[in-house]
Structure 1
C-alpha cells in the first residue's frame, strides 16, 4: 500500500529517481527513433557514457531552479511552464557541454533534439500522474475515510466555481464531496470543469435535490435580480445554501470555500463591482504613514483592511472604544504584512492627546471616520455630536496642518444635505471646516459624502435581523421611508479612490444607485430567513422619530454635480460662496458653539447651528427630492 508519510519524508529523493528514469528512457527512445529501432552497436557507448552526465546536469539545474520545491499535487498551467523552463535550461547546458567535449562529432544532432522533446514529455507526464493520483485516487480514499463528507453542488461553472471545485478536489480531507455544477449558460450545459459535470440549469436544482446535501453559490458578480432567482431555486430544494463573498468583499480576487457564508441582504442588492484604479491609489498609499480615526467602527475597520492591500509603511489605528480597538487589533495580528500597525486608544475631542499621537507618528495621510452617527441618540444628546463631529474634526484639521499631513479625507454623510437633525448639521459643519481650511493650507483637505452602508452597527438591517430572530414584529417608522444603500467594502474602496483623485477642497459624492424602500428591505429579510412577511412575522409602523427624513438627499439645490473619470465618484460644485470664507471668523463661531454645548441645552445648540447653517431645519420632515444636474469633468487626467 502507498505510504503517504514515507513519500512526504523522502519526496525529493523519489522525484529525483523518477526523473532519472524518465531521462534514461527519453535518451534511449531518442536513439531508437533516430535509427528506426536498429541502433548500431557503437552508439550504445555514447548512450552509456553520456547518460550519467545528463542525469547529473538535470538534477543540478532542477535543484538550482527550485523544481523539487513544487508541490505537484496542485499542478497548474504555471507548473507546466516551469517544467519547460527547467528542462530547456538543462539542455542548453548539456548542449554547451557536448559541443565543448566533442563538437557533436559522433553524436547525432537529431538524437539530441528528440531527447529534449522526449524528456520534456515524460517529465510532464510524471507530474501529471502525481496530480491525477492526488486528485482522484487519494481523494477517493478520503471519501471513504471521512464518512461525514457532505455532498455539495456549485451554482456557477465559471472562474470562481472552478477555483472552489479545484480546492475541493485537491484536498483529500475536505469535508465536502463535489457532486457537480448547475449553470444557466447554454454553452456550459453538460460540459465538464475539472472533470466534474454541469448537471443542468439553476431551475433544475429541485429535480436533482436528492443527489446533494448543500448548495454553494459561486457567482460573486451576480446582480440582485440574478441572486433573487438563484435563492428562489435554492429554497425549493429545502437544502442548506450559502454563497461566496461578493467581488466587493474579495481582496486581490482570493476566494476559498472557507469564505462561504450565509446569503445576506447585500447579495440581494447586487450592486455592480467597484473597479478601482489601483495604480493611482498605490502611488498615493504605498510606503506612506496612514492614520485612520474611528478605526474600530464599521467604515474605519474596513478602511484598515483595504489600506493594507496597498502596502503602507505604517497604519495608525485610532479609536475611543477599547472593545472595537481590541477587535481590529486581533484581526490585523493574523494578517501577514510588512506594514507596521499601531493601535491607539484615543478620542478626537482630546486635543492634547491627539497632538501627542500626531507628534509620535507623523502621519502623511489621514482618513477621518470617527463620528457619532445615530440620529435619534444625537437628537437627545446634541452636545455629543457637536463636540465629536465638529470639535473633533476641528482638532484633526489643525493638527493635520501643523504636522504637514499631505492628504486629509473626511468621511461625511448624505444627512449633511438640507439637515433636519443635529447629526446631519454637525457633519455639514465638518464639511465647511475642511473646505474653508483647505483654502490656506498646504494639506489637501476633502470630504466624501454617501448614504447608508449595509451592516453597520445599529443600522436597520442588523436590527431587523435580530427582530426576525426573536420572532417579530419588525418595526419600521414609516411605510414610505426610503434610503440609499451601499456595502461597507464598496464605500471604503471608493473613499480610498477619492483620496487619489482629490486635489483639495472637494466634497465628493459616491454614486448610490436607486433608493430602496425600508419596508421592502424588511420583507426581503423576512423571506430570506424562511418566513413570510405579515403571515409569520408581522411588520409594525411606529412613526417618524425626531430628526428623521422620509428620504435622504445627496445634494442641495445649489449643488450641481461634476463628473470625474470614475463613474461612481462625482464632485459637488463648490458652494463656498454661500458661506463666509474667513477661517478665523468660522473658527471663532465653532469655539462659541462648543462653549454652548457645554451647557447641555438642546434649544441653544439648535439655534446657534441654525445661524451657522441657513439650510438647517431642525425638526422638519422632508418629503420632496431635489433634481440634480451632472456636468462632465476631468481631474488632472486621473481616473
Structure 2
C-alpha cells in the first residue's frame, strides 16, 4: 500500500470514528435529542475538521502502528483533546452555550475508538500474523532497553524463528514483572533452572554495556545448559546500521577472554605518527600486521613494512593499499633479514624513519628450545642490529615488543626476549633515540597460539590437548596489544618497559572447555587430554618481577617496570661464541644470564655443524 492510499484509508476511517463518537455520545447523554440539530452538526464538523488538522500537525497518520507504544498513545491523547477543545470554542462562539456532558462523553468514545483502531492492528500482528508454532523458545538475558528492543523485534519479524518466552535480569525490581507480556523470572543464577523448566532452545545475551568479566560470568551459566547462546551485535554496528538488532552473533572466545579495551590518547599518538615515516619490523606477523593497520589510521607520510617472509608482507601491503586507498600514505615493503646488519643500516639510511616498531621475533617456546641458536640470531642479534641502525640514523622513538615470558624466564624464547630488553635499555643510555619495550601476555588468535590449535582439534573431532590442568596464562586481543604498543610510543621518555594490566589470568583448561562449548559440542563428545608440560613451559607467567614493580599507572591500565641490572658485556660474549656451543650449553647460558646468574664452569664447547 502506497503512502497516499494509506493516508486516504486513515482519513476515511477516522472520519467515520469521529462522527460515530459524537452522535453516539448525543444519544447516550440525551436519548430524546434530535440528531440533526444545528449545535450538533456544528460540533461534529468542528471536531472532524480539527481532528484531521491536529493529526497532520502531530504526524499521527505517519506512525507505523505495528510498533505503537506509549509515544503514539500520547499523540492520540493530544489530537483528541485539542479536537474537543476546538469544539468548545466553536460552541461558545456560535451558540453561546457549551455542552460539557456531550463533549466529555465524545472525548471518551473518540479516545477509545481512535486508540483501539490503531492498537488492534498491532495486537493482530503480534497474536495472529506472527504466531508460529515452530519458533524456537528463547530466553533473553537483560530486560533493559536493549533486551526490550530485541523482544519487540523478534515478535515483529516473521522471518526470525525465535520466540521470546522469558527475561533474565539481575535487577530485583524487575523480577516477577511482565515486559511486553514476557515475564522477568529472576537473575543470572537462575539461567540453568529456567532453561530446563521452560524448555529453552536459544539464549540471547542483550546487555551492550557488559564488561568482559560480566559477560564471562553469564556465559559460564549459559554453558551449563544445552541451549545455543548468542549475543547482541556491537552497539556501534547497530547505530551505524551495519547490522540490525535481530542479527545476533555467536559468542566468541575473544568476548570472554579479551579485556575491556584501553582507550588511546589520540592527540598524543597523532603528534608522533601523523605525517611521519614509520617502520614496522615483522610487519607480516599477527602483531606487526595489526600495528600496521592501526598506524595507518593516523596517516603517516610513509609506512615501511619490513619482514622476512615475502608472502605475508605482500598480503598486508595489498590489504593496506586497498583499505587506505583514499589517503596519501606511501606503503613500502622491504624483504630483509634482521641478522643482516648491513641491510638494516641500508634500510634506515634510505627511509630515515621517525618511529620504529620492532615486532619481528621467534616466539614459539618448544621450537626455540630445540633451536636456541636461531632464537639468538633473530631475537638477540636481530634486535641489536635494528636498534643500532635506528640509533645511528637518529630515529626519534624505537618500540620493541616483548613478552611476559621474559620475566624469570625458564625457556630459550623468554630468555632471548629478556636479553633483547637489556639491549634496548642499554641503547637508550647511549643514544638520542628513545628506546622502550612493551611487555604483554598471550595474544588471542596469533599465529602459533593455543586457540587456533584448539579450534583445529575440535574441527577434527578431538580430543583437545592441554599440557597441565593447572596451567594459567594472561590473554589479550591482537588489536589491544597493538594499541598498547602504539600508545607506549607516545608515552615514551626512554628506557621504560611498559606493562599492561592484563587482569586475571585464565586457566588453559577452562579456555579449552569454553571453545568446545562455543563450537556447539559437549566436552564428552570432543574430549580433553592432558599431555604434560613441554620443555621451557611454566605453570603461570608473570608480567613483572618483584623488584621491577612500580605501583603507579602512567596511563589507564599501563604500568612501567623498573630498570633491572643489565649484562651487555655478557650478552656480547654469548653472541661471539653461541655458534660453537652445543644446544644444551647455549640454552643454559641464555636462561642463567636472563635470570642474572652467570655459569662459573661452562660446558664443553663444540660446533653445531660437527
Residue 262 of structure 2: aligned partner:
274
Q: Which of the pair has more CA radius of gyration?
A: 2
Q: Among residues 291, 294, 302, which one is paired with 2:279 in the alignment?
A: 291
Residue 552 of structure 1: aligned partner:
541
Change in 2 beyond 3 A, CA 1:222/1:265:
same
Residue 603 of structure 1: aligned partner:
584
Quick check: 219-228 or 356-365, which moved more? Answer: 219-228
Instruction: Tell me, in whole angstroms, the C-alpha distance in 2 between the residues paired with 1:191 and 1:280.
Output: 50
Superposition deviation, residue 371 in structure 1: 0.4
2:307 corresponds to 1:326 = no
Counterpart of 1:412 in 2: which secondary structure?
Answer: strand
Change in 2 beyond 3 A, CA 1:158/1:312:
farther
2:338 corresponds to 1:348 = yes
2:513 corresponds to 1:526 = no
Instruction: Tell me, in whole angstroms, the C-alpha distance in 2 between the residues paired with 1:220 and 1:410.
Output: 34
Residue 474 of structure 2: aligned partner:
484
Instruction: Tell me, in whole angstroms, the C-alpha distance in 2 between the residues paired with 1:487 and 1:423.
Output: 21
Superposition deviation, residue 527 in structure 1: 2.2
Residue 579 of structure 1: aligned partner:
566
Instruction: Tell me, in whole angstroms, the C-alpha distance in 1 between the residues paired with 2:183 and 2:197.
Output: 9
Q: Do the aligned residues in 2 keep the contact of 1:420 with 1:617 (CA within 8 Å)?
A: no
Q: Do the aligned residues in 2 keep the contact of 1:417 with 1:428 (CA within 8 Å)?
A: yes
Q: Do the aligned residues in 1 keep the contact of 2:138 with 2:162 (CA within 8 Å)?
A: yes
Residue 27 of structure 2: aligned partner:
none
Instruction: Tell me, in whole angstroms, the C-alpha distance in 2 between the residues paired with 1:431 and 1:353.
Output: 22
CA-to-aligned-CA distance 1:9-57 (integer Å, 9 cap, x gap): xxxxxxxxxxxxxxxxxxxxxxxxxxxxxxxxxxxxxxxxxxxxxxxxx
2:486 corresponds to 1:505 = no
Superposition deviation, residue 231 in structure 1: 7.5
Instruction: Tell me, in whole angstroms, the C-alpha distance in 2 between the residues paired with 1:164 and 1:354.
Output: 56
Q: Do the aligned residues in 2 keep the contact of 1:218 with 1:244 (CA within 8 Å)?
A: no
Q: Do the aligned residues in 2 keep the contact of 1:191 with 1:198 (CA within 8 Å)?
A: yes
Q: Among residues 426, 445, 454, which one is paired with 2:435 in the alignment?
A: 445
Instruction: Tell me, in whole angstroms, the C-alpha distance in 1 between the residues paired with 2:278 and 2:145.
Output: 34
Q: Among residues 293, 315, 325, which one is paired with 2:303 in the alignment?
A: 315
Change in 2 beyond 3 A, CA 1:595/1:165:
farther
Counterpart of 2:430 in 1: which secondary structure?
Answer: coil
Superposition deviation, residue 419 in structure 1: 1.3
Superposition deviation, residue 242 in structure 1: 5.2
Instruction: Tell me, in whole angstroms, the C-alpha distance in 1 between the residues paired with 2:182 and 2:314.
Output: 45
Q: Do the aligned residues in 2 keep the contact of 1:596 with 1:605 (CA within 8 Å)?
A: no
CA-to-aligned-CA distance 1:317-344 (integer Å, 9 cap, x gap): 2222223223322332331352322233
Residue 373 of structure 1: aligned partner:
363
Structure 2 gap ranges (5+): 4-121, 123-128, 131-135, 600-610
- Normalised to the residue count of structure 2, the TM-score between the two structures is 0.64
Change in 2 beyond 3 A, CA 1:230/1:380:
closer
Counterpart of 1:329 in 2: which secondary structure?
Answer: helix
Superposition deviation, residue 241 in structure 1: 3.1
Q: Do the aligned residues in 2 keep the contact of 1:227 with 1:270 (CA within 8 Å)?
A: no
Instruction: Tell me, in whole angstroms, the C-alpha distance in 2 between the residues paired with 1:509 and 1:472.
Output: 36
Instruction: Tell me, in whole angstroms, the C-alpha distance in 2 between the residues paired with 1:481 and 1:207.
Output: 33
Superposition deviation, residue 615 in structure 1: 3.4
Change in 2 beyond 3 A, CA 1:537/1:279:
same
Moved over 4 A (4+): 150-168, 174-183, 185-192, 196-218, 230-240, 258-261
For 1:412-423, list aligned pairs within 5 A.
412-423=402-413
Q: Do the aligned residues in 1 keep the contact of 2:412 with 2:591 (CA within 8 Å)?
A: no
Q: Do the aligned residues in 2 keep the contact of 1:475 with 1:542 (CA within 8 Å)?
A: yes
Instruction: Tell me, in whole angstroms, the C-alpha distance in 1 between the residues paired with 2:364 and 2:492.
Output: 28
Instruction: Tell me, in whole angstroms, the C-alpha distance in 2 between the residues paired with 1:617 and 1:243.
Output: 55
Instruction: Tell me, in whole angstroms, the C-alpha distance in 2 between the residues paired with 1:602 and 1:325.
Output: 31
Residue 575 of structure 2: aligned partner:
594
Instruction: Tell me, in whole angstroms, the C-alpha distance in 2 between the residues paired with 1:153 and 1:289.
Output: 52
Q: CA RMSD in A?
A: 4.5
2:247 corresponds to 1:257 = no
Residue 570 of structure 1: aligned partner:
559
Superposition deviation, residue 562 in structure 1: 4.3
Superposition deviation, residue 393 in structure 1: 0.4
Q: Do the aligned residues in 2 keep the contact of 1:209 with 1:237 (CA within 8 Å)?
A: no
CA-to-aligned-CA distance 1:244-293 (integer Å, 9 cap, x gap): 46x9xx89x97832997542222123522313222222222222211111
Q: Do the aligned residues in 2 keep the contact of 1:419 with 1:616 (CA within 8 Å)?
A: no
Residue 47 of structure 1: aligned partner:
none
Give the length in aligned residue pairs.
Answer: 464
Superposition deviation, residue 435 in structure 1: 0.4
Superposition deviation, residue 540 in structure 1: 1.5
Q: Do the aligned residues in 2 keep the contact of 1:163 with 1:255 (CA within 8 Å)?
A: no
Instruction: Tell me, in whole angstroms, the C-alpha distance in 2 between the residues paired with 1:164 and 1:311.
Output: 39
Quick check: 365-374 or 449-458, which moved more? Answer: 449-458
Counterpart of 1:408 in 2: which secondary structure?
Answer: strand
Q: Do the aligned residues in 1 keep the contact of 2:141 with 2:207 (CA within 8 Å)?
A: yes
Superposition deviation, residue 228 in structure 1: 4.5
Superposition deviation, residue 423 in structure 1: 0.6
For 1:124-523, list aligned pairs within 5 A.
184=169, 219=208, 221-229=210-218, 238=227, 241=230, 244=233, 256-257=242-243, 262-269=250-257, 271-336=259-324, 337-338=326-327, 339-523=329-513
Structure 1 gap ranges (5+): 4-135, 137-142, 145-149, 619-639
Instruction: Tell me, in whole angstroms, the C-alpha distance in 1 between the residues paired with 2:498 and 2:475.
Output: 17
Quick check: 288-297 or 314-323, which moved more? Answer: 314-323
Change in 2 beyond 3 A, CA 1:404/1:464:
same
Change in 2 beyond 3 A, CA 1:268/1:612:
closer
Change in 2 beyond 3 A, CA 1:218/1:257:
farther
- Normalised to the residue count of structure 1, the TM-score between the two structures is 0.61
Counterpart of 1:598 in 2: which secondary structure?
Answer: helix
Change in 2 beyond 3 A, CA 1:260/1:375:
farther
Q: Do the aligned residues in 1 keep the contact of 2:167 with 2:184 (CA within 8 Å)?
A: yes
Change in 2 beyond 3 A, CA 1:610/1:275:
closer
Change in 2 beyond 3 A, CA 1:443/1:239:
same
Superposition deviation, residue 440 in structure 1: 1.3
Superposition deviation, residue 490 in structure 1: 1.8
Superposition deviation, residue 429 in structure 1: 0.6
Counterpart of 2:504 in 1: which secondary structure?
Answer: coil
Counterpart of 1:558 in 2: which secondary structure?
Answer: helix
Superposition deviation, residue 386 in structure 1: 0.4
